[in-house]
Each structure stands twice: as C-alpha cells, then as structure tokens.
Amino acid sequence: MDALDPKSDQRPTAMVGDKLSGRVALVTGGIRGIGAAICRSLVSQGASVAAGYSANRDRAEQFLKELESDFGADVHATLHQGNVSKPEDCRRVVGEVLEQHGRLDILVNNAGITIDKMTAKMSVEDWDTVLAVNLSGSFYMAQPALEHMVERGTGRIIFVSSVIGEHGNVGQANYAASKAGMIGLTKALAKEAAFILKRADRMEDDGVGITVNTVTPGFVATEMLEHVPQKVQDRILTQIPMGRFCRPEEVARVVHFLAADASAYITGQVWGVNGGLEM
C-alpha cells in the first residue's frame, strides 16, 4: 500500500454511536483533510456539525452532500464561510452557529496553513500569515466560543496542533512557532475555564464542565503533505516507527473521544497521534 494511498482511508459512513447525540460541534477547516474526517467522526457519534471553510463554496457544498448521502437525511450539518485570521469573521461564524443550531458544545480549531521555507528565505509576510491563521485564528475562534460555554457551564475546545509544534522541523519555523503557541494557548484556556467555573461555584464533581485540549498529529496523508517534495517525504517516512503516514480518521477518533461528556477529567493535555515519531 502506498503511504498516501486514498484507499487506506477509514471514513465512517454511518452512525456508530450516540455519545455526542444532541451536541453541536463547530469545526474550522472542516470540509477537507483532517477537518472533514473530524466532522464525519463527530456526526458518526450523533453530533450536529457546523463546518467552517475559507473560500471554496462548491467544495463545501459537495462535502455537505456527501455527508447527507453517507449518514442519511437526519444529519444536521451547516456550512460557514470565514477567514479565521479575521476576528470579526470568527465572532460572526460563532454567532451564525448559535443562531442556526441554538447552542455550541464543541469547538474544534483545525484550520491551518503552511508556507514552508528555510528561515533565510522566509519573508516577514510568510511568518505573519502563518501565525495569523494558525495561532491568532485559534484565539479569535476560542474567545467567543468560550464566552458562550462559560454562560452555559459546559463545553469542549479541541485544538489541532502538530508534532511540529513539539519538536520543530526543517523549513517550518513559522508553522512550528504557531503550533507550539497553540499548546500554550490550550493550557492557559484550560486553566481559565476551570478557574471561572470554580469561582462561580459551578464546578460539579460529576458534571460535563469545560475542557480544553490539543491533539498533535504527526504527518497525515492530506493535500498538505502532497506539497512536500518526494525526497523529503521519503526521509520523513524512515523516521516514523509505524512506517506509514497517519490517516485523517486516526486523528478524528481522538477528537471525538475528547469531545465526549465522559472525558470531563481530561483538560490542558496534549494528545500525540504520530505513529511513534519523536518518542
């Protein structure tokens, strides 16, 4: 099997559980790659999903049709266009979700970009653009979502960071810094959410509460990886103990696990899904 073989995908195409039934999830960058796999996985557990996308309306509508044809007409999914590097778009999208679904239980901050260059060749714009989308965008989305979750006293925020944020990578100074920043942001928000609930005397021993966690995927077989030169892909593969790239579904299953009510005692944590890379 080729390491990037699309046949290796394990997409859920039916409801397989109900642990997220009645929950509403917003997934940024939700129409392709890891984000699409996360939407499918959340739907397969009974959640309604709001999929964010930045530009490609046709592709977004195609994704929605696929969801409906795979999971049936009962699936409640909506599309939301926005640029996560613009705080006003983020606030508007959270507002749209609240208006159309009535609540927001789960925010998955997945939207991310790369502009890979050696540091000597990286322009200020390359740096700023990646930081603006990956790191500032995560904050701009989390802020209005957390406001709503604090009002309700329950919620889940899950960031999709990267193994690169933990260990760095040749040609990715901007991306590594942004993904490392997301880990700090996760821990700060996890502490704040718990602090606020406790101060308001709303922390229940067996409650759902508000948790904030990060998943750090390794090298995942998506379009992002297709842009990496073949010789570099080959080199990376030799460093992965599992001997293959990650499937988007393997990241998504950790996200739906963390999103469940029963995961209430896990907060401020970093969950690696990387085939044993950098143990």
175 near ligand CAA (CB under 6 A) = yes
**Could you give the CA distance from residue 164 to residue 245 in angstroms, rounded to a whole number?**
14
- In the complex with ligand CAA, the residue whose CB is nearer, 15 or 232, is 232
Q: Which of residues 235-274 bind ligand CAA (CB under 6 A)?
A: 235
Stretch that binds ligand CAA, among 8-16, 76-84, 110-118, 251-259 (CB under 6 A): 110-118
- In the complex with ligand CAA, the residue whose CB is nearer, 71 or 219, is 219
3-state SS assignment for residue 44: helix
- In the complex with ligand CAA, the residue whose CB is nearer, 97 or 277, is 277
| Least distance to ligand CAA, CB of residue 211, Å | 23
146 neighbors 197 (Cβ within 8 angstroms): no
157 neighbors 182 (Cβ within 8 angstroms): no
Site string for ligand CAA, 133-162 (x = CB under 6 A): -----------------------------x
> What are the DSSP calls for 112-148, one per residue?
-----B-GGG--HHHHHHHIIIIIIHHHHHHHHHHHH
| Least distance to ligand CAA, CB of residue 196, Å | 31
| Least distance to ligand CAA, CB of residue 261, Å | 29
Q: Confirm whether 175 is a catalytic residue.
A: yes
Query: Three-state SS string across 233-248, please?
Result: HHHHHHCCCCCCCECH
85 neighbors 136 (Cβ within 8 angstroms): yes
| Least distance to ligand CAA, CB of residue 16, Å | 27
Tell which one of 105, 116, 249, 250 touches ligand CAA (CB under 6 A): 116
**Could you give the CA distance from residue 223 to residue 164 in angstroms, rounded to a whole number?**
17
Other Cβ atoms closer than 10 A to 34: 28
With both helix axes pointing from N to C terminus, report the angle between 33-44 and 57-71 in degrees, rounded to the nearest 10. 30
**Could you give the CA distance from residue 111 to residue 34 in angstroms, rounded to a whole number?**
9
15 near ligand CAA (CB under 6 A) = no
Site string for ligand CAA, 193-232 (x = CB under 6 A): --------------------------x----xx--xx-xx
Which amino acids are annotated catalytic?
175
Q: Where on the chain is the footprint of ligand CAA (CB under 6 A)? A: 114, 116-118, 162, 164, 169-172, 175, 219, 224-225, 228-229, 231-232, 235
